[in-house]
Amino acid sequence: MPVAPFDGALAVVTGAGGGFGRATALALAERGATVIAADIDGASAERTAALAGTLGPTATAYQVDVSDAAAMEKFAADVRGGHRVPDIVVNNAGIAISGPFLDTGVADWERILGVNLWGVIHGSRLFGAQMLERSRALPTRPDPPNKGGHIVNIASAAAYSPSRQLPAYCTTKAAVLMLSECLRAELAGARIGVTAVCPGFSETGILRNTTFVGMDERRAERLRELVQRGMRLRRYPPEKVAERIVEAIVKNKAVVPVTFEGHLLRGLSRLSPGAMRLLARVPAPGVR
């Protein structure tokens, strides 16, 4: 697999209609990769593919719901049949639910688990199997450790940061982090790299579609505005996260915290779990 630049590489990016997904698709295209931009919003995927096509060789849009097992089976088969086995897969699609655990209903859990966890499972399992089959056919030689391909799973600093306000989100992202670590160990012998990327606060637009439970719409909108204001002040665009994703593929990194708070929380989770548990008790601004 070409790594730096990605000339000749085929990259699949889910959740590519905006945020980290679009920024990553464009960053890979700019470095020579052919991009398949997948998103549940077909129009957004088309826009990303059009942009990527101006930067790299070619780009194709695909509408798919990553939580739908049958749809993902078809997607993986279409990619292989219409193109070939991908060299890079970025499982980025994600949603957020905010609010107390006891106010989070079964339907909420099914929805967030479907996208944030099952979406990563489907993408990793289906494309990982394709990469493994191809890798076994490659001759053994001292190539880069991710010669057989690379899977990037977008987790979050929430993966190691418990929070009373984000129990569902934190749970799914912690699962993505552990899944990535397990899969990395399993596929290392086949020269397939696996990376979990754990961004902190960044302006991705995910808040626009966040579901708030346990509060009325007025309070939810106030909280959304407060967090959005904080994100704007943070000034950490998705393009910076995309740069870290590219670097992670090139260097075959295992876990990549992104942003100052991402690194800080990762360090605290290792050095002082008790401090993290105390921080988890702090309510969000404007929420009692």
Residue 115's CB is within 10 A of a number of other CB atoms, namely: 21
Residue of 62, 160, 169, 236 marked catalytic: 169
Q: Which ranges in the chain belong to alpha helices (H)?
A: 19-30, 42-55, 69-82, 106-112, 119-137, 167-187, 217-234, 238-251, 260-271, 273-280
Q: Judge whether 169 counts as a catalytic residue.
A: yes
**Beta carbons within 8 Å of 190's beta carbon, 6+ residues apart:** 131, 132, 135, 136, 148
Q: Are the beta carbons of 173 and 160 closer than 8 angstroms? A: no
Specify which residues 34 forms β-bridges with. 10
**Residue 89 main-chain phi, psi, to 5 deg:** -130, 125
Catalytic positions are 169
